[in-house]
A and B are shown apart, each in its own frame.
Chain A
Amino acid sequence: TQLLEQSPQFLSIQEGENLTVYCNSSSVFSSLQWYRQEPGEGPVLLVTVVTGGEVKKLKRLTFQFGDARKDSSLHITAAQPGDTGLYLCAGARWDNYGQNFVFGPGTRLSVLP
């Protein structure tokens, strides 16, 4: 069972369209991160959200952390081919051994010109 679920798993859209990717869990996280990974590269951090209800904007990307800190969304406005990649959400949590991070399965986005 995935601790973090992402939807959709795959998304193919035309340039200029808007899209939203969701990251959901039944667990509470101290923070949540969104990464983008392009083929042949490691994941690159886009944003960290920490406070429940927090909204952060990064140019055409808008990130929201749910009030209960169990879910998050990533909205892209006017998608461009350069947005193509694997979008991963990751939740940070503390256990008996310290802090660790749990990754969702990813959303593979393809933006067609």
Chain B
Amino acid sequence: SAVISQKPSRDICQRGTSLTIQCQVDSQVTMMFWYRQQPGQSLTLIATANQGSEATYESGFVIDKFPISRPNLTFSTLTVSNMSPEDSSIYLCSVDPQGGETQYFGPGTRLLVL
């Protein structure tokens, strides 16, 4: 398993600003994932972040809006840029420590954009 922490746990932001979310893992992992979960909805994958390569974005998500950093095997950041109220959501990072069949999730970052 893996223990994952996220910062901030929640934030309220103004339209047009940017927020960077941090994800820290207690062990070295190759694959990290960033998800969005809108109120009352399931999880939607934003991108996969592997250390040493550029993040791979899913359809509907672009690097300019959601730039991702992956400087080492235990840490990643997701930035939500030029925010609008539609970006209000829970943002979750997850890892797949065995590179196999299972993900473990952080507690999420609750973002409200006014």
- In the complex formed, the residue of A with least CB distance to B33 is A101
Task: Find chain A residues with CB under 8 A from B41 CB.
Answer: 105-106
Q: Which of A41, A101, A104 contacts B107 (CB 8 A)?
A: A41
Give bound CA distance, A102 to B103, whole Å: 11
Q: How far is the CB of A89 from chain B (nearest CB, A)?
A: 10
B75 at the interface (CB under 8 A from A): no
Chain B residues near A97 (CB, 8 Å)?
A: 48, 56
A92 to B48, CA, bound (A): 14
Contact status of A41 and B108, CB under 8 A, knowing A101-B45, A106-B42? yes
- In the complex, A66 has a CB within 8 A of chain B: no
**Distance, CA A106 to CA B53, complexed state (A):** 32
Residues of A within 8 A of B31 (CB): 98-99
Contact of A104 (CB < 8 Å), options: B1, B42, B48, B104: B42
With A99-B31, A99-B96, A104-B42 in contact, do A43 and B48 touch (Cβ < 8 Å)? no
Against B, the Cβ 8 Å flags (1 = close, 0 = not) of A30-48 are 1101010000111111001
Chain A residues near B102: list those with CB within 8 A.
Answer: 31, 33, 45, 48
Judge whether A55 is part of the interface by a CB distance below 8 angstroms: no
Q: Which B residues touch A44, using CB under 8 A?
A: 105
Task: Give which listed residue, B44, B56, B99, B106, contacts A42 with CB less than 8 A.
Answer: B106
B residues apposed to A, CB below 8 Å:
1, 4, 31, 33, 41-45, 48, 50, 56, 92, 94, 96, 99-108, 110
